[in-house]
Structure 1
């Protein structure tokens, strides 16, 4: 039964760039530009366990819309990441992951969902992909 549940999330799982929590905003911006196809960047600890997420569009808007970009670029990425992203294990039923995603505040409803396997980053899922796969 677990294989069926795993394949539900696996069917819509995407890769996403990850960065260590020790990076600055400038270093993270470089990673973002190296992966223009990705909607997000996952921030991980030394054990490749997710600790936060950055939605690229929001991050870029903050980076370009602020006065004193030199100070911004030196800031730790942990100051801008979402410290409470939706994280689900690959074995979690897709319906419960989608329900949890839709219960987030409106501004975060389209944020990527981090998927882990045994606590380690496996990839991300876009909520829109889950909605499309249900039909």
Structure 2
């Protein structure tokens, strides 16, 4: 996580587990179970730049509901990740990031927002935390 964090983000940003895009669903599920407190897992490339997002609850439901779990477990995590998550830099105004988050489709309104610093993963923000901090 970045050492320099604006006060605007410092009360909202949370750490989140990250995995390389090369992992399988089985390997990623192990990471999810190692971090039961996290709502999401960030998928990163070799340079620690976010390339996707997994919301843990949705990911688990897909895993539990699939026929042929063995095939599911061997699939690349890139097949199930959200390929266009909302990503914001620490320098972005929180109000504009929240507005962008609330303009997403209903199913994605509660998806975590990935926060970066100089393109690298700094953490995530839950939209609910941003709404609470506005009040």
- Using structure 1 for the length normalisation, give the TM-score: 0.96
Aligned equivalent of 1:118: 118
- Structure 1 gaps of 5+ residues are none
RMSD: 0.9
Aligned to 1:111, the other structure's residue is in SS state coil
Aligned equivalent of 1:24: 24
CA distance in 2, matches of 1:6, 1:86: 19
8 Å CA contact retained: 1:25, 1:75: yes
CA distance in 1, matches of 2:91, 2:6: 5
- Using structure 2 for the length normalisation, give the TM-score: 0.96
Aligned equivalent of 1:77: 77
CA distance in 2, matches of 1:134, 1:116: 21
Aligned to 1:110, the other structure's residue is in SS state coil
Aligned equivalent of 1:102: 102
- Structure 2 gaps of 5+ residues are none
Structure 1 segments, 4+ long, off by >2 Å, are none
Give yes or no for the alignment of 1:127 onto 2:127.
Answer: yes
| Per-residue Cα deviation, 1:57-108 (whole angstroms, up to 9, x for no partner) | 0000000000000000000000000000000001100000000000000000
